[in-house]
Amino acid sequence: MTDTLIVFKQDTVAPRRSLARRTVQRIGVQNLSLVIAIVVLVAVIGVQNPLFFGLDNMRVIGQAVAISGLLAVVQTIVIILGALDISVGSLAGLCSVVSAMVFTAAGPLVGVAAAMLVGVICGLINGCIIVFGRVNSVIATLATLAAYRGVADLISNGSAQGYTGSDPFFIFIARGSLLGIPTLIWILILISALVYVFLRFTSWGRNVYAVGGNGVASRLAGININRYIVGVFVVTGLVASIAGVLITARTGSGQPVSGSAGLELQAVTAAALGGAALKGGKGSVIGTLLAVVLLGVLSNGLTLLNVNSFWQDVATGGVLVLAVVIQQLRSGERRIGLPS
Amino acid sequence: MKDNSPGQPEAHPVVFEALNVAKRFGPVAALSGASIQLRAGEVVALMGENGAGKSTLLKILTGDHAPSSGALLLGGREVTFRDPAHARRMGVRVVAQEPEIAPDVSVAENIYIGALRQRGRRYSRSLLEREAGQELAEHGFGSSIDPGMLGKDLTAAQRQIVEIMRALQGSPKVICFDEPTSSLGEHEVDILFRLVAELRRRRVAIAYVSHRLPEVFELADRVTVLRDGTLVGSRQTSETSSDELVRMMVGRDLSQLFERTPHQPGEPILQLDSVTTDDVHGVKLTVRRGEVVGIAGLVGAGRSELLRAIVGDIPVRSGSITYKSRPITFKSPADSIAVGIGFAPEERKAEALILERSISDNIVLTVLPKISRAGFVLARRERTIASGFISRMRIRTPSPDQLVKRLSGGNQQKVVLARWLAIAPDLLLLDEPTRGVDVGAKAEIYRIIDGLAAQGTAVIVVSSELPELMGLSDRIYVMAHGRLSSSLNRADATEERILSLALTDDAAPREPAPTSDRNEGLHND
């Protein structure tokens, strides 16, 4: 009996979009602009220094971004949840020390397992402080950032531990390759693929978006949101421990601080640049990976062009500000007060 | 109530006028050329379905949007508002439907925000609160709200009162109300109506957006109807009828709005005995299969809290709940969902929808485990469920992948309902299911509720719209101060009886208990 109503409403349905437009929509404007930025950057740097296009240089870039890339990918989940974990850098340092010290006593596999166990426990501590202690995630992980670094320094006496540089397992991780692609990059690809599948195709991934997008609605829809928050921090701890193992492999010893300091900033930068919204509910692994590549290319290119390395930090900061500004203006938010 | 005859140009000079204003957002025309005249001492109601352009017109009138074309004339002179603050200074005020209230300052400070009074050189909070108290009392809201309360502790009705008080500051020439009664209880609505009458006597020009026909007839001198961004027509309220207005809005007849089918209530499915929570006291209630039970009452009477207690969202302190003949205690909504209870809360955007996600995502949220294998969501089953509900509930969208934030209020509410119908509930709890929803979508929601009952689902509806409750329910309970009356049968439930029960003790709703921060979710303070 309401057929008339349907007819009357039909003209409000959006007109068919052109193919180009639909393609853009599928890829996402955010990702597309990152791709364009990478292409432009590659062109500019490549014209000035042809070495840039060498296969070796590609490997260098890949290996340079592998560790921060891992943390950026897992940080994406945390940000989608509406939280932030800035303890990942110091946790990676702690796990690096643990892996090297246990390796010295019990061999590489036990060393890696011990590091992962420490990562999981530290992630669990983060999650529990946030959920059960009712502490804002930035403050909670700021506190554990200091604490985990302190523990790393305590057990290592503040210096590099163990020597893994002659162990075939660690050598394979640091310098080995499969099908011409370095192991480090394989590890990044593997973890990224897992996170991508998790977020995109599983019910748990959907629920992460729901919890970050609207916590109250998620609880009323029967989602145990505490479990998700603690779970995500545990996974983050686990991935941070893998990053720690990679640091050990690359430097040949357990490093409490050097090699891990500042990683949390790179991770958050890449995730934000990749389109993850800090208020939660939005973000994707593809966007984050593109941002990781963009930042890697930028840093490598500036090195090749012999730019003072201090300028590289300025450039990274500049890119981040520019990207976020464009993103915010595109969202049409009005320029009043603090941004939401 | 209307003591002066409107329509005579001499007695009611035009104060504020929009001439053929239009607003485009990219390719979309939200408003394509509408003119409206607001006269001193006259109330003009603006009606239309959601998306008809009412809000856009209102935002143009109050400086929130700059019109793409057309002009605004204030006192006969053309004006261009730079922003809402500019319009406000010029005497054009708005009472927003969902007011912005600063959470950590007092009611008094919220009212005088932007123009805090001072004694000498020193700002005095106690003086401010005293003045606010006097002013609130003067307008009849003295017992509804305490000027010292903090913004974050206010109920929806109290927030609305603060917003109204803000609009009255200084000397307003024009006040635009955007569905002011949608969050008010009957008691506050009465006060608001008296206030509007008072403003009319003070020769303020008033625009009044509303979805409720009875109040339009009670308050307005003229009604202007918008549809699809254009002006359908303007009528004197004395010369039109509900039927005509509804026809103008949707092109359909009121008798078609909703036809109730007879229900045959079965055995009791839910029984509450002496249920007590922090805000609810000794509630006794029975719901049968295939029955629609209404809960009436003032805003703040504890109706929402009762529903939340039933689904396990807030703790029950004492008393017993029997569901399907078994005593139960739900520790969280997950427990109640598992046994077939659905709950659509009052605040659609804040508590029900994941706005940044698709329609499909939102609908299947409650059934994800059922449509997943080893954690992987089965895309085909998801698509079937989402498309099924989109056509069954007539959700107007080009695709199930459309983000929910882009839908109109009515369609958003249908997405919320679809989410709960997806679990095939035996008991469905709906808190204000048609709030802020247009007439056409309302009718469809009524039909859905009615259809569910006919199939044997038990439904509890909480609503502040009495005609809606009386039209839908087999029985009606009335709640006042956290206590529930015995139920009224459909035949006995008159508006007068319900109101007198809701107003027992005639005390205003007390301030709500501060929301305790539970050990759940992320903490962002």
- Determine the residue of chain A that is closest to B443 in CA distance: A2
Q: B156-160, B216-220, B399-403 — which is least confidently predicted?
A: B156-160
Minimal Cβ distance to B351: which of A82, A216, A281: A216
pLDDT the model gives residue A144: 94
Q: Please give, rounded to a whole number of angstroms, the shortest distance from the CA of B61 to a CA of chain A.
A: 19
Indicate yes or no: CB of B396 within 8 angstroms of CB of A13. yes
Same domain membership, residue B21 and residue B86: yes
Q: Please give, rounded to a whole number of angstroms, the shortest distance from the CA of A193 to a CA of chain B.
A: 15
Say if B163 falls within a structural domain.
no
Instruction: Indicate whether B482 pLDDT > 90.
Output: no
Distance of CA B319 to the CA centre of its chain: 31
pLDDT the model gives residue B513: 42
Indicate yes or no: CB of B345 within 8 angstroms of CB of A220. yes
Same domain membership, residue B507 and residue B430: yes
B160 vs B252 pLDDT, higher one: B160
Same domain membership, residue B235 and residue B280: no
Q: With an 8 Å Cβ cutoff, is A224 touching chain B? A: yes
Interaxial angle between packed helices A88-106 and A55-80, expressed in degrees from 0 to 180 and rounded to the nearest 10: 110
Q: Which of B401, B424, B447 is the last residue of a domain?
A: B424
Q: How confident is the prediction for chain B on average, in pLDDT? A: 83
pLDDT the model gives residue B427: 95
Q: A71-85, B6-20, B55-69, B340-354 — which is least confidently predicted?
A: B6-20
B307 vs B138 pLDDT, higher one: B307
Q: Checking DSSP bridges between strand B43-47 and strand B222-227, what pairing results, if any?
A: parallel
Q: With an 8 Å Cβ cutoff, is A204 touching chain B? A: yes
Same domain membership, residue B315 and residue B251: no
The domain of B392 spans 348-424
How far apart, in whole angstroms, are the C-alpha atoms of residue B508 and residue B489? 26
pLDDT the model gives residue B159: 85
Instruction: Indicate whether A93 pLDDT > 80.
Output: yes
pLDDT tens digits along B270-281: 999 999 998 888
Same domain membership, residue B93 and residue B109: no
Instruction: Indicate whether B260 pLDDT > 80.
Output: no
How far apart, in whole angstroms, are the C-alpha atoms of residue A99 and residue A173? 14
Average pLDDT on B385-389 reads 92
pTM attached to this predicted model = 0.75
Same domain membership, residue B203 and residue B247: yes
How sure is the predictor about A242, in pLDDT bands with cuts at 50, 70 and 90? very high
Residue of A203, A282, A330 for testing the chain B interface, max B β-carbons within 10 Å = A203
Q: B3-17, B109-123, B288-302 — which is least confidently predicted?
A: B3-17
Q: Which of B256, B288, B319 is the last residue of a domain?
A: B256
pLDDT the model gives residue B465: 76
Indicate yes or no: CB of B398 within 8 angstroms of CB of A13. yes
Same domain membership, residue B280 and residue B218: no
Minimal Cβ distance to B377: which of A8, A206, A217: A206
Same domain membership, residue B177 and residue B97: yes
Residue B177's contacts (CB-CB under 8 Å, 6 or more residues apart) are: B94, B95, B196, B206, B207, B208, B209, B210
Interior CA angle at B110 toward B107 and B111, to 5°?
Answer: 90
Average pLDDT on A188-198 reads 95
How far apart, in whole angstroms, are the C-alpha atoms of residue A272 and residue A275? 5
Same domain membership, residue B184 and residue B41: yes
pLDDT tens digits along B216-226: 888 999 999 88
Number of domains in chain B: 4
Residue of B522, B523, B524, B525 for testing the chain A interface, max A β-carbons within 10 Å = B522
Q: A168-177, A197-206, B411-420 — which is least confidently predicted?
A: A168-177
Same domain membership, residue B107 and residue B97: no
Give the DSSP per-residue string, A122-179: HHHHHHHHHHHTT--HHHHHHHHHHHHHHHHHHHHTTS-B---TT-HHHHHHHH-EET
How sure is the predictor about A46, in pLDDT bands with cuts at 50, 70 and 90? confident
Instruction: Indicate whether B40 pLDDT > 60.
Output: yes
Residue of B310, B365, B419 for testing the chain A interface, max A β-carbons within 10 Å = B365
Say if B448 falls within a structural domain.
no
Indicate yes or no: CB of B444 within 8 angstroms of CB of A219. no
How sure is the predictor about A121, in pLDDT bands with cuts at 50, 70 and 90? very high
Say if B410 falls within a structural domain.
yes
Please report residues of A whose CB lies closer than 8 A to that of B522: 81-83, 130-131, 136-137, 215, 229
Indicate yes or no: CB of A203 within 8 angstroms of CB of B369. yes
Chain A, residues 227-246, CB within 8 A of chain B, namely 229
B473 vs A53 pLDDT, higher one: B473
Please report residues of B whose CB lies closer than 8 A to that of A213: 354-357
Instruction: Indicate whether B508 pLDDT > 50.
Output: no
Please report residues of B whose CB lies closer than 8 A to that of A217: 351-354, 365
Say if B8 falls within a structural domain.
no
Indicate yes or no: CB of B368 within 8 angstroms of CB of A132. no
B458 vs A157 pLDDT, higher one: B458
pLDDT the model gives residue B484: 87
B375 vs A193 pLDDT, higher one: A193
Minimal Cβ distance to B365: which of A12, A131, A210: A210
Give the DSSP per-residue string, B421-485: HTT--SEEEEESTTTT--HHHHHHHHHHHHHHHHTT-EEEEE-S-HHHHHHH-SEEEEEETTEEP
Say if B385 falls within a structural domain.
yes
Minimal Cβ distance to A202: which of B334, B375, B396: B375
Same domain membership, residue B223 and residue B186: yes
How sure is the predictor about B511, in pLDDT bands with cuts at 50, 70 and 90? very low
Indicate yes or no: CB of B333 within 8 angstroms of CB of A81. no
Q: Within a 13 Å sphere around the CA of B430, how many CA atoms are in the beta-carbon half? A: 34
Average pLDDT on B423-438 reads 88
Same domain membership, residue B383 and residue B244: no
Give the DSSP per-residue string, B172-195: -SEEEEESGGGG--HHHHHHHHHH
How sure is the predictor about B7, in pLDDT bands with cuts at 50, 70 and 90? very low
**Residue A289 three-state SS:** helix
Please report residues of A whose CB lies closer than 8 A to that of B337: 221-222
Residue of A220, A225, A232, A282 for testing the chain B interface, max B β-carbons within 10 Å = A220
Instruction: Indicate whether A288 pLDDT > 70.
Output: yes
Q: With pLDDT > 90 as the criterion, what percentage of chain B qualifies?
A: 30
Say if B520 falls within a structural domain.
no
How sure is the predictor about A299, in pLDDT bands with cuts at 50, 70 and 90? confident
DSSP single-letter state for residue B365: G
Taking CA atoms, A220 is separated from A31, A145, A226, B307, B332, in Å, by 33, 33, 13, 12, 8
Average pLDDT on B57-67 reads 89
Q: How confident is the prediction for chain A on average, in pLDDT? A: 85
Q: Which of B202, B223, B256 is the last residue of a domain?
A: B256
ipTM reported for the complex, 2 dp: 0.82
How far apart, in whole angstroms, are the C-alpha atoms of residue B291 and residue B163? 38
User: How many interface pairs between A and B have CB atoms less than 8 angstroms apart?
Assistant: 130
Instruction: Indicate whether B354 pLDDT > 80.
Output: yes
Please report residues of B whose CB lies closer than 8 A to that of A204: 375
Taking CA atoms, B315 is separated from B53, B305, B324, B332, B516, in Å, by 43, 10, 20, 9, 12
